Amino acid sequence: MKKTILFIFFTLSIFSYGYSQSLALADSSGPVANNSTRTFHGHVNDAELLSYMFVKNTTSATIGVKVKKVELSLISGSVNSFCWGLCFPPSVYVSPDPVDINAHATDSADFAGHYTPNGFEGISNIRYVFFNQANSADSVCVNIAYDALYEGISDQTAKNILSGAYPNPANNTVNFEYSLNSENEGSVVIRTLPGTMVKKSDLKSSENKVSVFTGDLPAGIYFYSLEIDGKSLITRKLIIMH
């Protein structure tokens, strides 16, 4: 009897988070596989750790899409919320209204996951399920691990720290301050919402500040990342206004 119940539960779980026929996910680095995990690193004293997802309608008809938040494991004392069109308080687990995504279009502006460590160290795991309002089984999901540490970004890169971009919004120039482990190769990369790299500045361990010219970029929303040895560790939003 127990085996039967477990089998039914396992089957329903697969069905609930099965691969969507209508939706696909991506982030600033490219496509995101269904039910895969993305890790966002930060410090316990950060005001927020942010995650962004782009949602693509792969069909030839407009779809109303909702988002469900599933708290898989949380660090006690932390706070989380999400935005989907509107931003909701932590008590909201399903977006009340759908966001319409046109045929073959990608919504790259409406979703953001917000996580506040509140000074508590550890990893909180949250699943975000994007589903077709007309058929909740038509869904795709991503698992986000928000990793807030005292020592820095991670054990291997504890000495690699990047400040927030300033000014932000930026006009002709944006600045970053950093501390780079001499054993690592680092760079700051700026990408468009769809993920196209438009700027890359290599970092030197002997310096602690880099300025990037942005006067030739169209006004809009971008993402900047700290990349260490070719791996993206921090991704945050950058706004350019001329």
User: ∠176-182-185 over CA atoms, to 5°?
Assistant: 65
- pLDDT greater at residue 33 or residue 41: 33
pLDDT digits (tens, 9 = 90+) for 43-77: 787 778 889 999 999 999 999 999 999 999 999 88
Domains and CATH numbers, the chain: 19-149 (2.60.40.10), 161-240 (2.60.40.1930)
d(CA 193, CA 52): 10
Phi and psi of 11, rounded to 5°?
A: -65, -45
Tell me what percent of the residues of the chain surpass a pLDDT of 90.
Answer: 53
* pLDDT at residue 24 is higher than 80: yes
Q: Average the pLDDT over each of 51-60, 116-125, 157-166, 187-196 and give the range with the smallest value.
A: 157-166
pLDDT band at 141 (very low <50, low <70, confident <90, very high): very high
pLDDT digits (tens, 9 = 90+) for 69-112: 999 999 988 999 999 999 999 999 999 999 999 999 999 889 99
d(CA 117, CA 44): 5
Contact at 8 Å (CB) between 146 and 115?
yes
- The pTM of this model reads 0.63
Element (H, E) at 106: strand 106-107
* pLDDT at residue 38 is higher than 80: yes
Q: What is the mean pLDDT of the chain?
A: 84
Q: Secondary structure of 150-190 in the HEC alphabet?
A: CCCCCCCCCCCEECCCECCCECCEEEEEEECCCCCCEEEEE
Phi and psi of 13, rounded to 5°?
A: -65, -40
